[in-house]
Structure formats: structure tokens, C-alpha cells
């Protein structure tokens, strides 16, 4: 049975494009993978805290410490999943801090990555990720490309964890007026039908 981890991180609970397309993606994956289980983490309605000094004190030395209980739970959700659907609005050229806090909790040596004599090794190989990105401007081409730290960062950190099968649904230029917004939403909806992750898990 396929398990989907659905991560939401837009603080806009009413008109968020990443929430709209992210939910449509999960709905489509559930249609394609009959009986799929969905684990939902809404990092805005149920935020994870920033890392505390107590967390950092034990993170390398005592993996069973009570301070790491939430981290173990979040890592467990990732390990249990075949497909990660990660919604990420662009905030100040990067991720919302709630999503970064989640990443800080799941970046755990021995669980999601390891260091060996030849360097770092990701431990999440074989999983798929779909990034659902909301952006006010256009970063896939043109002058803003150089200051895009949203998709590039997510691909880098997921790659560090060993996840390289990554597809992107970018809803760009939503700040350029209602027409552009509607056009970007329609393009993303059409692209959902072409996702490789619909076919295999
Ligand atoms: C706090 C904040 C910061 C933002 N920073 C940027 C930015 O740096 N670049 C950009 O193109 N759009 C920026 N935007 C616009 C959002 O990326 C845009 O509204 C997008 O639709 C957000 O995704 P969502 O609709 O899923 O919330 C920002 C919006 C907010 C609320």
C-alpha cells in the first residue's frame, strides 16, 4: 500500500495556491494509488517548534532522549512514506520558517542521513517527492532566477537525504494579476495528470 506524506506550510488558509494544488495532487495520487494512506502535517495549523538548546545538546549523543520525541515522530512519518507532497509558498525568496523548522527536525544523522568515510549518504533512497511551489513572481526564467532559494534549496536538502526522484508543480507569477494567477493554476492542474508519481510508488 502506498503512503503519502502531505506537508502544508502556507500561512494563507483561504486563497493559497500551494494548498489548492497540493490538495488536488494528493487527491489525484489517492485516485491513482487505490487505498493509499495519507499522513497530513499542516505546519501552520500545527507548527513544530524551532530547535531548542536541549534538542541540540542530545541530537548526536542520545537518539532516545525525550527532547527528540517529536523529531522521532516526524522522521517516522517520512520513513513510513513512499511519496512526499511538500507545499511551499515562496517567502522572501525562500521557504516559510515553519517548513524550515520541520526540515531541522527530520535532518537526523543515523535516521535520514549518515556520514561515512566517503562523505554524506542519504538514507531515504527510493522515495519520491512532489514540490508544490507558490510564487508571487516568476523565477523559472528571467532575472529573478538568480535569487530563487525555494526549489533549489528543497532539491538540495532532499537530495542530501537521498531523495532524487523529485517533480515540481510551480504556480508562478500569482502576484502579476488575476489572469496570470488563473493561467498558472490551470497549468499546474494540467501537470498533475502527467506526474510520474501517479504511476509507481
Ligand atoms: C511573507 C511573504 C513573503 C513573500 N515573499 C515573496 C518573495 O520573496 N518572492 C515572491 O515572488 N513572492 C513572495 N510572496 C508572495 C507569495 O509567494 C505568493 O503569494 C504565493 O502565492 C504564496 O503561496 P500560497 O498562495 O500558497 O500562500 C510573499 C508572500 C508573503 C505572504
201 or 169: which leads in pLDDT: 169
> Quick one: average pLDDT of 109-136?
96
> Quick one: average pLDDT of 75-101?
98
Rounded to the nearest 5°, which phi and psi values hold at 158?
-65, -40
Distances (CA, A) of 121 to 74, 95, 124, 159, 163: 20, 24, 9, 10, 11
User: Has residue 138 got a pLDDT over 90?
Assistant: yes
**Distance from the CA of 72 to the center of ligand 1, in angstroms?**
30
C-alpha cell at 135: 510564487
Contact 161, 122 (CB under 8 A): yes
- Take atom 15 of ligand 1 and give the residue whose Cα is closest: 136
94 strand-pairing partners: 91
- Domain count across the chain: 1
User: Has residue 200 got a pLDDT over 80?
Assistant: no
- Take atom 10 of ligand 1 and give the residue whose Cα is closest: 136
- Take atom 28 of ligand 1 and give the residue whose Cα is closest: 91
Q: Which residues constitute the domain of residue 45?
A: 3-198
> Quick one: average pLDDT of 74-80?
98
The minimum-distance atom of ligand 1 relative to the CA of 87 is: 26
CATH number of the CATH domain containing 42: 3.40.50.360
The minimum-distance atom of ligand 1 relative to the CA of 139 is: 11
Amino acid at each position: 500500500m502506498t503512503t503519502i506524506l502531505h506537508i502544508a506550510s502556507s500561512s494563507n488558509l483561504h486563497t493559497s495556491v500551494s494548498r489548492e494544488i497540493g490538495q488536488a495532487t494528493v487527491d489525484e495520487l489517492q485516485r491513482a494509488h487505490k487505498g493509499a494512506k495519507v499522513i497530513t502535517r499542516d505546519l501552520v495549523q500545527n507548527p513544530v517548534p524551532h530547535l531548542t538548546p536541549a534538542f541540540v545538546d542530545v541530537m548526536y549523543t542520545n537518539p532516545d532522549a525525550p527532547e527528540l520525541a517529536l523529531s522521532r515522530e516526524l522522521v517516522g512519518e517520512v520513513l513510513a512514506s513512499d511519496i512526499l507532497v511538500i507545499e511551499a509558498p515562496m517567502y522572501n525568496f525562500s521557504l516559510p520558517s515553519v517548513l524550515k523548522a520541520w526540515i531541522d527536525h527530520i535532518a537526523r544523522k543515523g535516521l535520514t542521513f549518515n556520514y561515512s568515510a566517503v562523505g554524506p549518504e542519504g538514507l531515504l533512497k527510493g522515495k519520491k517527492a512532489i514540490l508544490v511551489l507558490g510564487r508571487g513572481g516568476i523565477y523559472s526564467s528571467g532575472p529573478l532566477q538568480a535569487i530563487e532559494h525555494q526549489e533549489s534549496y528543497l532539491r538540495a536538502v532532499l537530495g542530501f537525504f537521498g531523495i532524487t526522484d523529485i517533480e515540481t508543480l510551480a504556480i508562478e507569477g500569482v502576484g502579476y494579476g488575476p489572469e496570470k494567477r488563473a493561467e498558472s493554476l490551470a497549468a499546474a492542474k494540467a501537470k498533475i495528470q502527467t506526474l510520474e508519481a501517479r504511476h509507481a510508488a
